[in-house]
Structure 1
Amino acid sequence: MQTLLLWMFYISTFYAFIPALVSRIFGFRVFRRGKSEQEYALTFDDGPDPVYTSQLLDLLKRFDAKATFFVVGINAEKHPELLKRMHDEGHLIGIHNYVHKSNWLMRPVTVRRQIAQTESVIRRVTGEGTTFYRPPWGIVNFFDISNTHGRRIVLWSSMFGDWKASIGAKQLAERMLKKLRGGEVMLLHDCGTTLGADVEAPQNMLIALEKLLRVAQERQLRSVRVDTLFCRQSVNKPTASEMSSTGWLKRTLVFGWLQYERLFHVLFRLRPVSKEDTIFYYRRRIYHGPNVNMENSRWLEKGDPIIELHFDNRKLFQLGSTAKSMVHLAIQLIRIVKKQLPDLAQRIVHDSEMKGVKAIYAVSMIHRGPEKLGFQVRELPKGLFKHVSTVYLKLLFRVIHPLGSEQLSEKKDVMVPKLIVMPMDTLFDRFHQGGLHRSDEALEQTAQRDDVHTLNSEMTE
């Protein structure tokens, strides 16, 4: 039962929760905001609608404004004349699935089929395909962001609740005008027939939009297509206010990530190695991976009891925030782990539940130097587990290290997760009772060499 619960937690976390969190808060692999002083983007979801979309196109034409329409395939198929008019009048057409259904509720193959069906409709009517995609409700799953298949996922920087008629045109206009600035990607709706929307709500949107377009014209702001705003991304540098906003977003992401970790620890009863300032947690598990040759012809095999280590992400974030380089971070980790491995050995000896375990192991992207402590580093076998671990740990590394994104870009060939394993007798020999003194003496020499390595690295930087 516990194993089933664990896998359900893993699947929901990796498939839904983490991708949604990092895409919305951290902007990972999605486009949410442009970098332009005078241009903003109007985007419309759920259409085309036989009543309101034609009125919207008339309004945009009157103000010479360009927009982006993320169409629902089944609606586009019913109203090809509106789709053709969007294209002929210079607007960008994107995909919003064939039916308005959350990607969390569909298998990856079903999502791909929905996208392909909608693009087929667009291509048949306009003669052109599209690479821009917005999932319903902006909810992405793991496969959406791990492999975009050449598509650009577009979310938004501001939304206004215009799908509810109760807001009223006046209040809606006030909300929209507060967000009227260069680089903004505004989310609006030209159809009110989707789940949770009011059928007559787009009428208020049209009244509010007319006021917005008039004010934008006075301020010399232009409404452009998303692809136009997207092209500005690589040209303009972020402003000081944007940098401040990014810092706030990152802190929010870190907070959310740590809350998720706390929930994980509670559900699966992870234990801290040390009572204060622990660097990792542990638990007993049954090994389910491929056979691993540890050392001296000893093998870790499927079905063997093991101790699984989990780094404390709060501690990693604190270390990453002060680390001057990847080498510096790795050395700090080695020293802290070195101090806590004797505590781990002591706990295992006195814990009856840990009897019979064959090895301790972990999967980590920071694997420079653990051999000095008696660990062995092995490649993860190809497969789903390696793919999921790679995506998860890269997302985590972007959070815990201030230069995480740059490190992943510059060192993508070496920044890969690996299996770190140590037989139990090696742990006891090095870090329990008599073996501890011999280990400390050897490791102190290693630490001195690492200090020199760090100093040389920092001078080079």
Structure 2
Amino acid sequence: MTTILQSILLWLLYLSSFYAFIPSLISRFFGFRVFRRGKSDTQFALTFDDGPDPHYTPRLLDLLRQYQAKATFFVVGEHAASHPELIQRIHDEGHLIGIHNYIHKTNWLMRPRTVRDQIQRTGQIIHEVTGVKTCYYRPPWGIMNLFDFFSKKERKIVLWSSMFEDWRSRVGAQRLTERMLKELRGGEVMLLHDRGTTLGADAHAPEQMLQALEVVLQEAERLGLQSVRVDTLMGGITVSESQNKNQPQTTLKLWKRLVVALWLGWEKLFHWVYHLRTASPEDPMLHFRSRVYHGARMEMSDGHVIQNGDPVIELHFDNQKLFELGVTSRSSMHLAIRMIRTMEQQLPDLARMVALEPELRSAKAIYGVSMINRGPEKFGFTIQDLPPGPFSAASKVYLKLLLSVIHPAGTKRLKQRTEQLVPKMIAMPLDVLLERYGQHTTQVAATVEESRDGSLLIEKELLPEQN
């Protein structure tokens, strides 16, 4: 019995070696079916695995933009699905996005079909967000299996020529910097990580990676070395070519063009009659006006209350901007992400204006109406139903009509999500606005008296929820 068991274990060892260990060994040392190093004397590639991460990835992108460096991000599908706005930002800022499986699990422990499904699922998420299909793939821990050797030729497997154990906090920023500088040369493909939540990694390790990377980018600039995307190092297509191929082309029907013309004309008249102001004049999206609140008592989750007769600020979206975003978006998710990013960019401007002007600070609330039941909580908003009545009914008809015009899925979307398209009010306390979005105006915010009974209500018309 012992002999039989030993024989079975021996055969399992042979099979696992044949399935994954030997293929990984061959690819790692001989470069068979993989890309590991470029031939350029002046360009190198920074690659980042395991993200995106809501804390570290934005800081990494800021750092890359500061030094005009391009990089490649091999993303984990489940993280990409949770943070599509980061995937969109990575793409918009000119970086390459590759696949790192849907979950961070070695190919050694998965069947070929499971690996294929993981790759396809992650690729679909990337495509839905960016409109671009990716063919670049890096298996977790660089472990390939036998079937990776016989995968479709259009899938480009990318490994690395140098790694630095940046996933371990004990390495330390100084030693990590020394290791990276030692390998800084043309053609190098550097392996780094912008997330520390995978097995064997330290959650705060990306912090020291960011410190080391800044020094490396400074030295690369001094040496005349340029950080580029992996496809550039390989001789692939450029960003502009990729974007041009995937630019959505939208032709509106006659009735939609008429609705848009009336809609935009009404907005101009509304702005003129009510003297609307703009939070970000250089990129008009958020407009507002001061007025007195007339409506039912509104109580938010944190205890702030808005009552009939309170001074308020009414916030509106720019119709022209909404229309442009809608007709040029590739999907519901793409439209949602673009609107979320616009809000993130312009809410600080609104906070600055509120902090600067006593009249705005004296208002008890800023308010508006939304057709979307999910999503605004990420900004710090509280959602509340509109009281039934003529205003609620009219808002529902009006916003549904506009959604059918500007939404990428049009009337098809309305039929699928009718139960969710109900006008609602969205609220945020004023002190939360200043705390969350006033970081760009610290000096101004410091002069503002605390307003513990203030609140913010913001209109987020037509923002599709993320599925």
* TM norm structure 2: 0.49
